[in-house]
Structure 1
Amino acid sequence: MDKHAADLLLINGNAVLPDGVKQVNIAIKDGKILSINEEQDRSAKEIIDIQGNYIFPGAIDVHVHFNEPGQADWEGFETGSYMLAAGGYTTFFDMPLNSVPSTTTSEAYLLKDRLARQKSCLDYYLWGGLVPGNIADLSELADLGAIGFKAFLSDSGNEDFEAVDDSTLLQGMQEIARLNKILALHAESNTITNFLKEKKLANQQFDLDDYLASRPIIAETEAVQRAIYYAEITGCPLHFVHISSWEAIKVINEAKNRGLNITVETCPHYLLFNHEDIKVKGNLAKCAPPIRRKKENEKLIELLIEDQFDIIASDHSPAPFTLKDPNTHNIFSAWGGISGGQFSLLAMIELAKLYSIPFEKIAKWTAKNPANRFSIQKKGIITEGYDADLSIISMNEETIVTPENYFARHKQSIYMDHHFPCRVKKTFLRGRVVYDSQNTQIQIQK
């Protein structure tokens, strides 16, 4: 290596490469990985000794809700992106529904994109929305750069982002296939969930057990199967978000085996917790689909070990604590969503340690597969020529979640007080430090 050929040299790190963990030095120049080798060449403008810590590829969260414009008091691009950086993430995809206006038109997309460009310390992509009445807008959204489109088969919780009816879903999927894009689906049957919810409300049954019963696994599998039928007709690529049951995965795998273009994600909160764990959290633990009972949780972990999920995403969905109705016992009136995007990679490392899952699989689910599925160039793995998006993780330190080290706008989370057996030390975006555990004021302007 020529003198000063590299801007930065990371030495003595255990890099999580696609084929396993190797102790290497990583040279970085102009934001790209210049070389990966085991030589002790020290010619670089700056050298950082990783001291045997692990180097993961910068994680990519394909499912967050940052709610800007219009509801930055829930979470905005500034707080949300820095929170993810503190969790080892370098890229995120923001969902379309909780901003005002929702991202269902080109005007709304341009407004959100301008704010994200100004405020985010990470790389980002924006989802467009599929709702009744906006099929004609999808082409313009795709031209502007929408990474894909999101639709709900059940109520979204936002009156301005309606669930799709069957006709809108079928026609929208046909158009999305024509645009060579992907449709992300919240797959729960609106008919089933609303029917069961009304029965609970009529009987004044308002607790977390009642909420779980109102959103049974059959509501998920029915919606998944219906969407798959429509995909067979239209050829539309599908990405099923936050799948919570073994039964739904079985239906999805049968479709994959028939050759359908489908990927599936789950979230750390479905893997790390079960219904019995979070009952003490009350309304704070409400999400859709719900966190299920221990038996189902154990099945999901078996599926994880068997490599049946394509992507792990956070579904970070925060809200002011008052919207969780903390002073009532009616879970149906509380906002549904788990705040915790900062902890997805840490949660997966915890599960890897518990169940002897190779770290390269964690990197695949959190970085490689998201990049490949959504055709993000030069990201997702640690290799020469790719962006130097890296997270440095200590396996010899723990993270105890507190309001002080959780960087989301609102600190209430089911992860509060949780002990992770690892710690994010630094996060690099294209070779620049965006998070340093020793200096939590660091951010960069893009």
Structure 2
Amino acid sequence: MNFDAIIKNGIVILENEEQAVEVGIKDGKIAAIGNNLGTDAAIIDAKGTIVSPGMVDAHVHITEPGGGYRDEWEGYDTGTRAAAKGGVTTIIEMPLNQVPATVNQASIQEKYEAGEGKLSVDVASYGGLVPFNLDGGIQELDNNGVVGYKCFLATCGDRSIEGDFMNVDDYSLYEGMKQIAKTGKILSVHAENAAITDKLGEIAAKNGETSLRAYVDSRPVFTEVEPIQKIILFAKETGCRVHIVHVACEEGVDEIIKAQQEGVDITCETCTHYLYFYKEELDDIGPVVKCSPPIREQSRLEGMWHRVFDGDISFITSDHSPCTPDLKDTDNAFEAWGGIAGLQNNVDVLFDEAVQKRNMSLSQFADIIAANPAKRFNLDTKGSITVGKDADFVFIKKDAPYEVKKENLAYRNKISPYVGREINAQVVKTILRGVEIYDKEKGISDEKTGTFID
């Protein structure tokens, strides 16, 4: 067979093992895996690196269109360039913080048009479940290519902005889950008890609390666990397949595992920042590290890691949710925007923390960043280095320390809690469907190779 390119000299993570093999690429697909595939093709030298499937980041917020309200937040150009630089080849984009939110045919088409010609990586899309799209919106989104749906039990959205996202009430959740069940697709849920967390936050603010420590305390663990229990009950009633996003506590994961044992089609993810940062250091970092659910105590870190290693947490995401710097520039944690910019530092941080520090196998690493999210959301051409799949790769150089610096971030707004941290692994090359989109020496390609997956 004639190949367009052959990856040589790397350690390649296959589906169940890693091997020093070559990978032949033809027409953007993986065409062969083996030894001595030939020299009559472009040679991609992976010497000294781990060749992993490109990351499938299943939780990313791109704020385009901004509707005149959020035009300076993360756009498709900068967001997907950051993904490429970070070794992410596919993102699943959330249905908020765009204006309008992605809740029906008109809004998803507006989103597709906004991203046209701007994508450095491939983009799959979520549709929203909100109280105002129960009269046909769910079906329109299904017909327009969404891979899943997203709803909030926590308070979200700005009611002064027409078309902004909105959290569900119990009836909207129940009716929406019945409708989504008919599509066969996943409903992903932000699980926090809005009534309790909102009131505890209000009380803390009245008492003059401003610290991130106090913010974490206003969102205690049980306010995350209780809505997970509700989702499980509703899933049993409606038959809706569900996924809990960004679980931040062991107790929440344990409820999900019990439900799986009872036959509920439910999975969960956690985020890189919940496995890396901890409550006791947050005030030294500042509001740039504020998110919800909040980052919890240092004593909980290894418990979460155990659940990753045991396979109880299906995959890891960034929940990349950046904003403009002014919304983080406050001494009052309760007033700061809640969201972390982390898309560019998923692969390197996770490789360092999981593989190098905790001896995770390379095959499990590839599962939690690529194979498992691709399988859960039926991205059939993504997620593993297998003949017939898209030729999506990230080359990782191990034991290669570097400091995250503001000026090296590809985000539109160059703020991130990882700035100043030393990471002992580096992404040195990213390939999307056989095309190099990032190289450590050459930088991010200006060629817009990415497409919407629909």
TM-score class, shorter-chain normalisation, is over 0.9
Q: Show the counterpart of 1:363.
A: 366
Q: Show the counterpart of 1:279.
A: 283
**Conserved in 2, the CA contact under 8 Å of 1:173 and 1:183?**
yes
1:128-161 Cα offsets, whole Å, 9 max, x none, are 1111121121101110001111100011244322
Q: Show the counterpart of 1:8.
A: 5
Q: Which is further off, 362-371 or 109-118? A: 109-118
Q: Which is further off, 297-306 or 85-94? A: 297-306
Correspondence list, 1:135-146, <5 A: 135-136=134-135, 137-146=137-146
Q: Which is further off, 165-174 or 192-201? A: 192-201
- 1:253 Cα deviation (Å)? 0.5
Distance 1:40 1:431, change over 3 A: closer
**Conserved in 2, the CA contact under 8 Å of 1:34 and 1:384?**
yes
Partner of residue 199 from structure 1, selected from 187, 197, 203? 203
Counterpart residue identity of residue 365, structure 2: I
How many Å separate the matches in 1 of 2:399 and 2:192? 41
1:21-40 Cα offsets, whole Å, 9 max, x none, are 11011111100111111226
State the SS of the aligned residue for 2:57: strand
Q: Which is further off, 428-437 or 417-426? A: 417-426
Question: How many pairs were matched up?
Answer: 440
- TM superposition score normalised by structure 1: 0.96
Q: Show the counterpart of 1:118.
A: 117
How many Å separate the matches in 2 of 1:345 and 1:441? 16
State the SS of the aligned residue for 1:357: coil
How many Å separate the matches in 1 of 2:80 and 2:106? 23
State the SS of the aligned residue for 1:413: coil
Partner of residue 62 from structure 1, selected from 40, 58, 62? 58
- 1:94 Cα deviation (Å)? 1.0
- 1:72 Cα deviation (Å)? 4.0
Matched, 1:28 2:32: no
How many Å separate the matches in 2 of 1:348 and 1:52? 19
Matched, 1:227 2:224: no
- 1:348 Cα deviation (Å)? 1.1
How many Å separate the matches in 1 of 2:83 and 2:444? 14
Q: Show the counterpart of 1:412.
A: 415
Matched, 1:384 2:387: yes
Matched, 1:442 2:445: yes
- 1:404 Cα deviation (Å)? 2.4
Q: Which is further off, 304-313 or 430-439? A: 304-313
1:353-393 Cα offsets, whole Å, 9 max, x none, are 11111111111011101111111122110011111001111
How many Å separate the matches in 1 of 2:223 and 2:95? 23
Counterpart residue identity of residue 323, structure 2: A
How many Å separate the matches in 1 of 2:391 and 2:444? 21
**Conserved in 2, the CA contact under 8 Å of 1:305 and 1:355?**
no
How many Å separate the matches in 1 of 2:107 and 2:317? 24
**Conserved in 1, the CA contact under 8 Å of 2:349 and 2:425?**
no
State the SS of the aligned residue for 1:333: coil
How many Å separate the matches in 2 of 1:393 and 1:357? 15
State the SS of the aligned residue for 1:184: strand
1:257-316 Cα offsets, whole Å, 9 max, x none, are 111111100000000111113221121111000000111222112212222210111000
Correspondence list, 1:39-438, <5 A: 39=36, 41-44=38-41, 46-70=42-66, 71-136=70-135, 137-159=137-159, 160-324=164-328, 326=329, 328-351=330-353, 352-438=355-441
Counterpart residue identity of residue 8, structure 1: A
Counterpart residue identity of residue 21, structure 2: V
Q: Which is further off, 111-120 or 258-267? A: 111-120
How many Å separate the matches in 1 of 2:83 and 2:321? 13
CA-based RMSD of the aligned residues comes to 1.2
**Conserved in 1, the CA contact under 8 Å of 2:89 and 2:432?**
yes
How many Å separate the matches in 2 of 1:202 and 1:441? 47
How many Å separate the matches in 2 of 1:206 and 1:417? 24
Counterpart residue identity of residue 264, structure 2: L
Counterpart residue identity of residue 61, structure 1: D
Counterpart residue identity of residue 334, structure 2: F
Counterpart residue identity of residue 339, structure 2: G
**Conserved in 2, the CA contact under 8 Å of 1:389 and 1:429?**
yes
The percent of aligned pairs where both chains have the same amino acid is 38
- 1:118 Cα deviation (Å)? 2.1
Structure 2: gaps spanning 5 or more residues: 450-454
How many Å separate the matches in 2 of 1:231 and 1:17? 34
